[in-house]
Amino acid sequence: MEHSVVMKFGGSSVESIEKMQAIAQRIIKKKSEFRHVVVVVSAMGKTTNQLLALAKQAAKYPSKREIDMLISTGEQVSISLLTMILNELGEQAIALTGFQAGIKTSGLHTKNKILDIDISKIENYLNTNHLVVVAGFQGLNEQGDITTLGRGGSDTTAVALAAKLGCTAEIYTDVDGIYGVDPRLYPEAKKLDVITYEEMKEMAFLGAKVMEPRSIEIGQRYKVPIYVASSQNNHTGTLIKEYTKVEEKSITGLSISEKVMMVTIMNFSARSSDIATLFVALAENEVNVDMISQTPAGEGLINLAFTAGADDLEAINEVLEKITARYEGLDVIKNMNVVKISVVGTGMRTQSGVAAELFKLLADHQIEFRLVTTSEISISYTIDKKHMKKTVEVISSHFGL
């Protein structure tokens, strides 16, 4: 629909009636700029966690279908209250739960995906000049069961609605927008005016926590511009959009994963069946292996290194015990004092030499790295924890992040 916009407010933006009243003013202002405004809200503050705690009290293994039914009440409460406030301020507002908004989902309970949205009811309300307030995070599956969309589900709802309406999704949150580097690590960090879906997806997967990758993916697939800004002030935020060559920067952002450990196994068998044995065992023990690197080490042998989450130490130890029992002569080194630094930029794809520029930069500053992996638009390094601050500063200042 023309002249439409979707605004999304997260849990902390609607944690009290007072905050909702402030949000209501922003919504009314937006309504003076756009013909059609759809608002998506999350549950108030910590409501979802409180409901989950109640479920845990009711049952050791609460049935997932009923968890969805239980936690979906959180958004139903917040859309009801926000709509009352808007109506009291003289607006014609209407609250719609997931099923009323036509949001059809499929998948496992507590982790559903949006299958489709029957937008007709929302369009009818918009055409009769209503402000439509939709419950984020929830929908209805084909069996008619209430479902929820998992972490970041309200973002997904907002972007999917914007896709259907052919408009921008505005995500209002605790932060002012998206930064190339975490300002807590590099105080001079600059807020980005624009970032591409691809860069944002890499950033999200790599540890930047502003938005869930899933909603970015939907935005990318349906070409929905996503605008991320603060719900507390009127500073300009960041627009997530399609790649255009004109705006290309070689490097857009840098992200850090601190809870990382690195395992090196010396003199491991070079046979692929043996390598597979190791990684299958890790997977079966639910270890999420991230970076992998191997180098030759004499006849039929390799040195093999990989990184995983530091939380997985126990699970990794179990696997390593079995492996060292099975294969003789291994030398295993675990290093907990590492971090992973990832550098992202769509420009890497077309601008040659970005990787080389980075290697030289680190060398010039005597920063050693232990592992390197690359994707089409990113490079990740494992470095010693003690070099973290220096590395962030060097890269950020060199590339003007």
Any contact of residue 144 with its own copies (CB under 8 A)? yes
Q: Decide: helix, strand or coil at residue 299.
A: coil
Place of tokens 């990113």: 378
- Closest Cα partner for 31 from 132, 177, 101, 106? 132
Instruction: Please identify which residue in 57, 120, 233, 234 interacts with its own copies, judged by CB under 8 A.
Output: 57
CB of 90 to its own copies, least distance (A): 11
In whole angstroms, what is the distance from residue 69 CA to residue 366 CA?
55
Any contact of residue 126 with its own copies (CB under 8 A)? no
Interface characters, 370-389, with its own copies (x: CB under 8 A): --------------------
Any contact of residue 84 with its own copies (CB under 8 A)? yes
Please name every residue paired with 341 in a beta bridge, in sequence order, or none if there are none: 256, 381
Give the start-end residues of each E strand in 10-55. Answer: 36-41
For residues 211 and 155, the answer to whether their CB atoms sit within 8 Å is yes
Contacts of 223 (CB under 8 A, 6+ apart): 242
Q: Which residue lies nearer to its own copies by CB, 19 or 30? A: 19
Any contact of residue 112 with its own copies (CB under 8 A)? no
In whole angstroms, what is the distance from residue 252 CA to residue 348 CA?
10
CB of 71 to its own copies, least distance (A): 9
Any contact of residue 40 with its own copies (CB under 8 A)? no
CB of 78 to its own copies, least distance (A): 10
For residues 358 and 379, the answer to whether their CB atoms sit within 8 Å is yes
Four-point Cα dihedral 13, 14, 20, 26, nearest 10: 40
Stretch that binds its own copies, among 64-72, 157-165, 233-241, 280-288 (CB under 8 A): 64-72
Instruction: Please identify which residue in 37, 39, 40, 81 interacts with its own copies, judged by CB under 8 A.
Output: 81
Cβ atoms within 10 Å, residue 212: 18
Q: Which residue lies nearer to its own copies by CB, 76 or 215? A: 76
In whole angstroms, what is the distance from residue 297 CA to residue 306 CA?
16
CB of 268 to its own copies, least distance (A): 46
Instruction: Please identify which residue in 13, 42, 48, 83 interacts with its own copies, judged by CB under 8 A.
Output: 83
In whole angstroms, what is the distance from residue 177 CA to residue 185 CA?
16
Instruction: Please identify which residue in 25, 49, 63, 317 interacts with its own copies, judged by CB under 8 A.
Output: 63
In the chain the first and final C-alpha atoms are separated, in Å, by 37
Any contact of residue 77 with its own copies (CB under 8 A)? yes
Any contact of residue 80 with its own copies (CB under 8 A)? yes
Contacts of 170 (CB under 8 A, 6+ apart): 5, 6, 7, 8, 226, 227, 229
Interface characters, 7-26, with its own copies (x: CB under 8 A): ----------x--x------
Stretch that binds its own copies, among 57-65, 219-227, 304-312, 369-377 (CB under 8 A): 57-65
Q: Which residue lies nearer to its own copies by CB, 56 or 322? A: 56
In whole angstroms, what is the distance from residue 263 CA to residue 143 CA?
46
Number of residues that bind its own copies (CB under 8 A): 39
Q: Which residue lies nearer to its own copies by CB, 76 or 238? A: 76
Q: What is the number of alpha carbons within 13 Å of residue 62 lying toward its C-beta?
A: 19
Residues that bind its own copies (CB under 8 A): 17, 20, 51, 54-55, 57-63, 65-67, 69-70, 72-73, 76-77, 79-85, 87-88, 94-95, 97, 99-100, 121, 144-146
